[in-house]
């Protein structure tokens, strides 16, 4: 694939089921006091997310789940500038939240997808990346979570690769500069000055590289920063989902365990349809 942005089909909801912190969809999920816990391992992990609440049942049956491995076969690349992606700059810093399940910054911005306008709610990170590009994963993925007036959500994913110091992306450095001041789940701090000009240029300049709203060309962070983030987050990435339209892998496992299909068979066509 040429450098570009890979475009999300509108039927595909979020980058993964729980990227929606702070959005109206998240607020509807349950009263804040009774928010059910989710995580990335053991009995809270992505294999059992379908049990968290009613809306999450689709995690085990839906056939358009994220993340996926993006390829030419399952996506159409578009020019990055078509997203009209902008994030306000914060010369005095912005709020940085350690949610335990991710590290998040509250910032405003705008984006256009098709003929719909979206407003930024927050951005957060996953390590390792949730999406893969031609099956390759990246050390980190940033999700910019946008919401339209009709409450629909759209996420723009930026891959972050590890590189030498000179290549460190300014917005990535600034985002995590005060991580040591919010080391634990539930803690909050401020970032230093944030500016997204270089990131906007990077996305605008992705001549044909956005599919599934994931920008194909990565930005960079240095190894010191990578280790610091990884040490804090440990692991917060949902497993790669089946190709869009194909049977949910958990559904396939259910059919297999019930003896309804044979090992190695392709149960697409059976099971629940989304």
Binding site for ligand NAG (CB under 6 A): 81, 84, 86, 94, 106-108, 112, 165, 168, 173, 197, 200-202, 204-205, 222, 224-225, 246, 266, 268
Q: Least distance to ligand NAG from the beta carbon of 272, Å? A: 15
Nearer to ligand NAG, 17 or 177 (CB): 177
Distance CA 127, CA 166 (A): 22
Question: H helices then E strands: how many in the chain?
Answer: 6, 14
Of these partners, ligand NAG, Zn ion, none, which one is at the site of residue 94 (CB under 5 to 8 Å by kind)?
Answer: ligand NAG
15: partner contacted, choices Zn ion, ligand NAG, none (Cβ within 5-8 A by kind):
Zn ion
Q: Which of the listed partners (ligand NAG, Zn ion, none) does 107 bind, with a CB threshold of 5 to 8 Å by partner kind? A: ligand NAG
Whichever of 14 and 219 has its CB closer to ligand NAG, that residue is 219
Nearer to ligand NAG, 41 or 180 (CB): 180
What radius of gyration do the chain's Cα atoms show? 18
Residue 19 partner contact from ligand NAG, Zn ion, none using kind-dependent CB cut-offs of 5 to 8 Å: Zn ion
Which of 36/188 has CB closer to ligand NAG?
A: 188
C-alpha to C-alpha distance for 59 and 50, rounded to whole angstroms: 5
* Contact call for residues 33 and 94 (beta carbons, < 8 A): no
Beta carbon of residue 170, minimum distance to ligand NAG (angstroms, whole number): 9
- Contact of 214 with 131, CB cutoff 8 Å: yes
How far, in Å, CA of 265 to CA of 18, rounded?
Answer: 30
Sign of the four-CA dihedral 263, 267, 270, 274: positive
Contact residues toward Zn ion (CB under 5 A) are: 15, 19, 143
Q: Are the C-beta atoms of residues 248 and 238 closer than 8 Å to each other?
A: no
Q: How far is the CB of 247 from ligand NAG (least distance, A)?
A: 8
Which tokens is 180 given?
Answer: 């040591």
**CA end-to-end distance (rounded Å), the chain:** 30
Least distance to ligand NAG, CB of residue 208, Å: 11
Measured from the CB atom, the residue of 27 and 205 that comes closer to ligand NAG is 205
Which partner, Zn ion, ligand NAG, none, binds residue 165 by CB below 5 to 8 Å per kind?
A: ligand NAG
> Could you tell me which of 136, 137, 109 has the C-alpha nearest to residue 123?
109
Partner whose binding site includes residue 143, from ligand NAG, Zn ion, none (CB under 5 to 8 Å by kind): Zn ion
Tell me the two tokens of residue 153. 């959500």
Measure the CA–CA gap between 105 and 124, rounded to whole angstroms.
6
Q: Given the complex with ligand NAG, which of 200 and 213 has the nearer CB atom?
A: 200
């Amino acid at each position: 694939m040429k450098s570009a942005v890979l475009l999300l089909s509108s039927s595909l909801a979020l980058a993964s089921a729980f990227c929606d912190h702070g959005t109206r969809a998240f607020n509807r999920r349950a009263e804040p006091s009774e928010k059910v816990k989710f995580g990335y391992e053991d009995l809270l992990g992505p294999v059992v997310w379908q049990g968290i609440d009613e809306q999450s049942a689709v995690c085990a049956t839906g056939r358009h789940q994220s993340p996926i491995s993006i390829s030419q076969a399952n996506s159409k690349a578009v020019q990055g500038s078509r997203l009209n992606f902008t994030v306000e700059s914060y010369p005095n810093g912005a709020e940085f939240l350690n949610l335990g399940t991710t590290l998040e910054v509250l910032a405003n911005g705008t984006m256009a997808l098709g003929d719909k306008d979206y407003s930024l709610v927050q951005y957060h990170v996953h390590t390792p990346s949730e999406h893969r590009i031609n099956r390759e994963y990246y050390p980190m993925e940033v999700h910019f979570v946008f919401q339209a007036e009709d409450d629909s959500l759209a996420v723009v994913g930026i891959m972050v690769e590890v590189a030498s110091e000179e290549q460190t992306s300014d917005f990535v450095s600034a985002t995590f500069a005060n991580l040591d001041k919010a080391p634990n789940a539930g803690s909050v701090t401020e970032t230093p000055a944030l500016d997204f000009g270089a990131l906007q240029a990077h996305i605008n300049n992705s001549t044909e590289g956005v599919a599934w709203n994931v920008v194909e060309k990565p930005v960079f962070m240095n190894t010191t920063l990578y280790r610091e983030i990884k040490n804090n987050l440990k692991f917060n990435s949902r497993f790669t989902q089946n190709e869009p339209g194909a049977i949910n892998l958990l559904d396939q496992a259910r059919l297999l365990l019930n003896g309804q299909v044979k090992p190695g068979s392709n149960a697409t066509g059976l099971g629940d349809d989304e």
